[in-house]
Amino acid sequence: MSINIVAITGRLVRDPDMRTTTSGISVCSFSVAVDRPYKSGEERQADFVDCVAWRGSADFLVRYFRKCDMIGVQGHLQTRNFETKDGQKRKATEIVVDSLSFVGGKRTASPTEETQPSADAQAFVDLPDDDSGDLPF
């Protein structure tokens, strides 16, 4: 029995890089900076983990995530061999994404992004914080 499951949380190192295969399938490469455990007084260090997302996961990633955003990634490790343009043989190990998730707080809008709530968001009504104890539980 083999198990190949990886789960990480960290920050995107750069904006996701979206491409499309010749058959029209979306594929997105990205890297996540993951903090290493450290003790008080030690210098903080991070590992930079390469990841690849396919199809709907790739589309979701490009639509909602940008450089420096916190992200949760779950997937499996894959190692592949390739040859560079100058003929050198290389090996790459990356996480193939099974699922992505938001981690941490909401990103604040940049000046160029829309700051008005969407129609869906306008349908919700804020409820007052009420500690009156009227809840049945």
Looking at the domain assignment, is residue 127 inside a domain? no
pLDDT for the residue numbered 38: 86
Looking at the domain assignment, is residue 52 inside a domain? yes
Looking at the domain assignment, is residue 121 inside a domain? no
Looking at the domain assignment, is residue 20 inside a domain? yes
User: 46 CB contacts (<8 Å, ≥6 apart)?
Assistant: 10, 33, 34, 35, 36
pLDDT for the residue numbered 117: 47
pTM for this structure?
0.72
Interatomic CA distance for residues 70 and 51, integer angstroms: 14
Q: pLDDT digit string (tens) for 117-133?
A: 444 445 555 555 555 55
Looking at the domain assignment, is residue 74 inside a domain? yes
Q: Could you list the residue range(s) of the whole structural domain that residue 84 is in?
A: 6-37+45-104
CATH code (residue 77): 2.40.50.140
Looking at the domain assignment, is residue 56 inside a domain? yes
Q: pLDDT digit string (tens) for 49-103?
A: 999 999 999 999 999 999 999 999 999 999 999 999 999 999 999 999 999 999 9
Number of domains in the chain: 1
Looking at the domain assignment, is residue 117 inside a domain? no
pLDDT for the residue numbered 116: 46
